[in-house]
Structures are given as C-alpha cells and as structure tokens.
Structure 1
C-alpha cells in the first residue's frame, strides 16, 4: 500500500513509518526541513521518498499538498505531526490548520488517520477564537472534530482517530507510562484496515475508546468547518 506519514522524523511517526516499511508497504515520509529529511532518509533508506514542509507555514503546507498529489492516489495518510508548545498560534497552525488545509487540497485517499490525545476530553472550544485560544488539549479536540466531519462528508473514505497514549517520546518525556509499542501499533493496524465500519471511530491501543461526545454534534461540526473556511478559503 502507498502510505504517507507526516511528522515522521522522530517518535511515534518514525516508529509507525518504520513498521509499515517492514510490513512491505510503500511509505512516504515527511520532515520539516532539508536537514531533517537527509537524516530521516539515512535512518529509513527503504522509504520511497521524504517530502519536506514546515507545517507551521501555510505556504509550505500548500506546496507540500501539491507534492503529495504528484504521488498519485494514496491508500492512507497518517496525520501524525504535532507540537506541544506555550505558543497557541503555533499549536493551531501545526495541529489543526495544517491537516485541514491538506485535507482540502490532497486527493482524498482511501484511509485517513488523525492523531489526537485523551487530553482532548473536556477541552475548551471557542470556535470564534480558535486562531489565538487553541492550547494543546483544544487542538486535539479540534482534530477529532475534523476527523468526524470528514468521515460524515466522505462516506467512501475510512477516517479514524488515534490516541497513542502517554508514551516515552521526545514529546511525551521519559516519565511517560504507556507502552511505546502500543503507541504506534494502532496506526499501523488502521493504515491497512479495509473496514468501512471503522470510519468515524476513536481508538486507543487497538480498541475503540471513549471520546468527547461534543464532536458528534453536526451543528458544531458545521460551525467548525465554516470557521476553517473563513480562515483558509478552502473547503473539505
């Protein structure tokens, strides 16, 4: 299968990509800049290619989306890239805006996997202020809201969302208590799963799990999509 993993330089993204390559898939990687792309290609030489784009910069997200479309029809996109920061505007740009723009511009694949977190539960969501008031927890709620919206609008695409857990990566830190293997196993499993019944579901360690039910509200989904269109002038 032809699969793209964003944010695959380190951590969950890297481990997911490596396992998918080991399983015989054609995997395309993503790095923020040329230096990281060279490092990544050396670490995973079996990858088909490494695409470059800073997801915090809209112009680069658009260029990256065009490069992805040149690859032809993908089987799966795994939106793994994300940042944890005190800079709310950066969090919104990387964690929410980038996957929204990519979802608007990229030829819809057969499967889309988004990465959320259990920190989304009960997170603040003031749609009119999301450009400046999106902290990490709120960004992960918005990611799930985006996934639910795409699953509703594109019935022929299997759209799933994963909570990898608190794992010992650069972002999670050395004190994290969840299994690193379990952290990426769900993405690997879902990347090649052909089961339409899974679309719209939220997974943790290979099983469906509870999520914030606000994301099932179609009126809220539409308000979110309208706000994103107002920001980007792009539609899903």
Structure 2
C-alpha cells in the first residue's frame, strides 16, 4: 500500500487517479484549489491550495510534509490558457518538488503539445506548449539530480475532460492508467526506471531540450529567480 498525492484532483484525470488508486487499496491525498471544488467527501485526506499563488503552493508543501514522506506524487494540476499557465503548470510542480520531503516517485503531466514549445526561457509570455516543455524538462532534471528516486513525464493524450472538451478523441480510461502504473508498479516492471516520457505505458522521445543539460540548468535558474526558492542539492 502506497501513500500518494495527486494535485488538481477535484475533477478529470486527477479525480480518476484518486478513485482508481483508492479502489486498489492505496492511501491517497487529494489536492484541490478550495473546499468548494471537492464533490467526493469520502476521500480521507484532502489538501487545499491555489497553485496560481506562490504562498498557497508553499503552504500546500507544508501540508503534504505533515502527512509524512509520500511514495509517489502525481503532478496532475494544469490549466490550458490564461494568466496562470506558467504558475500552475510549471512553478507549482517546481515549488512542491523543492519543498516537499522527496517522494520515492514523481510523475509530471506533460502533453504531446510540448514538442512545439519554445526553448526561449526568457520569453515575456509563455504558452501551454511552452509550459509542458518546461515541466517535461523538470521531470528529466529531477531524474538526474535524484537518481535514488524515480521521475517521469506522461502524455495522457487528448482526453474528454473539462480541459480537453467533450469531442476529445482519446480514451479517458487510458489517460489516467499510466500515471497509476508509474506510481505503484514494481520498479522491475518500469523500463527505463527513471527519466522517461510516456504515452500509454510506452516510452516516447520527448523534445530534445528536455534532456539538454544546458536547458535544464537554465530552467532551474529561471524558477529559482522567479520563486526565490532554491532547488536542494
């Protein structure tokens, strides 16, 4: 039985993760922006925080640490457009990664759209595609910097959630199964063990920048400067 945190889990893929992992007997902490967003009141652990706000994200890390060391964190929360794309999709996973007691496994939600993301880290505006390139690179960076743990990025596909829309062509069920597998499967079943980009339990090649040490270092510098929070050695 594993202790698992799922961010952005009040609906969509995150809520599907929570339901499946709970049914499998795991202890799951559901994160939601606020109490009004939690429909399922049966979940034992619910953590709150608006990931668009740095102080609330820092507080979420504190709440999580009070529960102990997680076996896995699924960084599921995300927004498609608007002023909070960079904060929710990139800054929040970085802050949680920097401040939480390191989990045994970290899974970051990416997208096939990351391949069209810009590598200009100093751009004045950042698109959804840019944010997914950044968070994919963050996962690959973590795999290098914390080799004793496991870190992966997952493309769940274009699925019919509130974000994806009802016309999305991919399977909602398949869209959440890879994250659950990476969070709970025996290490011997996962190859490569860490630092991979997955689509439906199969590794795929991400944007070349995701594995580029110079891009990774530049991304960490950007996030450290933006948040004032350094990434632990």
TM, length-normalised to structure 2: 0.94
Determine which of 73, 81, 100 is the counterpart of 1:77. 73
2:122 counterpart residue number: 128
Determine which of 189, 211, 215 is the counterpart of 2:181. 189
Which 4+ stretches in 1 moved above 6 angstroms?
Answer: none
Quote how far apart the aligned CAs of 1:224 are.
0.9
1:18 counterpart residue number: 19
Contact 1:111 1:191 in 2 (8 A): yes
| 1-structure distance, mates of 2:166, 2:218 | 38
Aligned ranges for residues 30-45 of structure 1 at < 5 Å?
30-37=31-38, 39-41=39-41, 45=42
Residues 154-163 or 188-197, more deviating: 188-197
Contact 1:40 1:50 in 2 (8 A): no
Contact 1:5 1:28 in 2 (8 A): yes
1:27 counterpart residue number: 28
| 2-structure distance, mates of 1:21, 1:73 | 18
Give unmatched runs, 5+ long, in structure 1: none
Q: What number of residue pairs does the alignment pair up? A: 227
Contact 2:54 2:227 in 1 (8 A): no
| 2-structure distance, mates of 1:79, 1:115 | 6
CA deviation string 1:37-57 (max 9, x = no partner): 3x232xxx1x33110000001
2:54 counterpart residue number: 58
Residues 208-217 or 179-188, more deviating: 208-217
| 2-structure distance, mates of 1:192, 1:48 | 19
Contact 1:116 1:144 in 2 (8 A): yes
1:232 counterpart residue number: 227
Q: What is the SS of the residue equivalent to 1:74?
A: coil
Determine which of 101, 104, 112 is the counterpart of 2:98. 104
| 2-structure distance, mates of 1:111, 1:123 | 25
Contact 2:119 2:209 in 1 (8 A): no
| 2-structure distance, mates of 1:48, 1:158 | 26
Q: What is the SS of the residue equivalent to 1:133?
A: coil
1:160 counterpart residue number: 152
| 1-structure distance, mates of 2:160, 2:21 | 20
Residues 189-198 or 167-176, more deviating: 189-198
What's the C-alpha RMSD, in Å, of the aligned pairs? 1.2
Quote how far apart the aligned CAs of 1:36 are.
1.5
| 2-structure distance, mates of 1:119, 1:223 | 21
Residues 102-111 or 225-234, more deviating: 225-234
| 2-structure distance, mates of 1:166, 1:159 | 22
